[in-house]
Amino acid sequence: MNLGIAGRKAIVCASSRGLGKATARALAEAGCEVVINGRDKGKLEATAAEIAAHAGVKVIPVAADLATPEGQQALLAACPQPDILINNNGGPPPRDFRELTRQQMIDGVIANMIVAIELIQKVIEPMKERRFGRIVNITSGSVKMPLAGLDLSSGARAGLTAFLAGVARSVADRNVTINYVLPGAFDTDRLKSAIAFQAKQKGITPEEAAAQRAASIPARRFGQPEEFGAACAFLCSAQAGYITGQNLLIDGGVFNGAF
């Protein structure tokens, strides 16, 4: 399918690896000029070169911490008026909620809720004026089905979802959409960290914990980042203008519900 976004400018946060990288790659394949972001300059530049060589489009790496005003300024200096914004950030590491300090909770809310809101504040008016904007927030399947140990991540991301629910409806008439993609267990470093946490809790090996986790998924496997990237890219397409304020859960069937 031609997504109808060739030539559009996209920002993908936290995209040097994992689901962010897969999303940046999918948008580049659709013909977008992409700004990618991360804090590891070397890894980021290698990812930019890889995607540019693969898709034949301009890919701009911006090494910055988006939790800081300076980081956000650097990102938007590279792409002042994006047509597409993908909000993404690594979640807090798995931890028993009793062990969380006040500062850790504040940092988690900043990283997984406030940064996305601040970036949307900066880009949404130009999107409205141009009558095109696609904002996708990568949250987590734990927003719908919270997991013990990921309480801070679940709470902050659910807060972002609720905060933007009304915003999404207020800009829909200007062809600006705001949606969420909720990943389940995808084959990424984040999943490996969660599995290691579960293995330690259960007193088993990471390999055993991974096998148990995969067996609990109706699809009987972990998702591949490329599958996730393709779904995000569709929500950014010209054809997705009538989809807004929605949570797309991609978890291999784990959430056992009809709605």
pLDDT tens digits, 94-111: 888 999 999 999 999 999
Contact present, 14 and 52 (Cβ < 8 Å): no
- Helix/strand/coil for 152: helix
CATH superfamily, domain at 9-184+224-250: NAD(P)-binding Rossmann-like Domain (3.40.50.720)
| Tokens found for residue 56 | 């034949």
| Tokens found for residue 129 | 């004026």
Which range has the worst mean pLDDT, 138-142, 143-147, 178-182? Answer: 143-147
**Comma-separated ranges of CATH 3.40.50.720 domains in the chain:** 9-184+224-250
Given a cut of 90, whether residue 61 has pLDDT beyond it is: yes
Contact present, 76 and 122 (Cβ < 8 Å): yes
Per cent of the chain over pLDDT 90 is 88
Given a cut of 90, whether residue 47 has pLDDT beyond it is: yes
pLDDT tens digits, 182-227: 999 999 988 888 898 888 889 999 999 999 999 999 999 999 999 9
| Tokens found for residue 64 | 């910055």
Q: What is the pLDDT of residue 177?
A: 98
Report the C-alpha gap between 132 and 177 in whole angstroms.
Answer: 8
pTM to 2 decimal places = 0.94
Q: Which H, E and C letters describe the chain, residue by residue?
A: CCCCCCCCEEEECCCCCHHHHHHHHHHHHCCCEEEEEECCHHHHHHHHHHHHHHHCCCEEEEECCCCCHHHHHHHHHHCCCCCEEEECCCCCCCCCHHHCCHHHHHHHHHHHHHHHHHHHHHHHHHHHHHCCEEEEEECCHHHCCCCCCCHHHHHHHHHHHHHHHHHHHHHHHHCEEEEEEEECCECCHHHHHHHHHHHHHHCCCHHHHHHHHHHCCCCCCCECHHHHHHHHHHHCCHHHCCCCCCEEEECCCCCCCCC
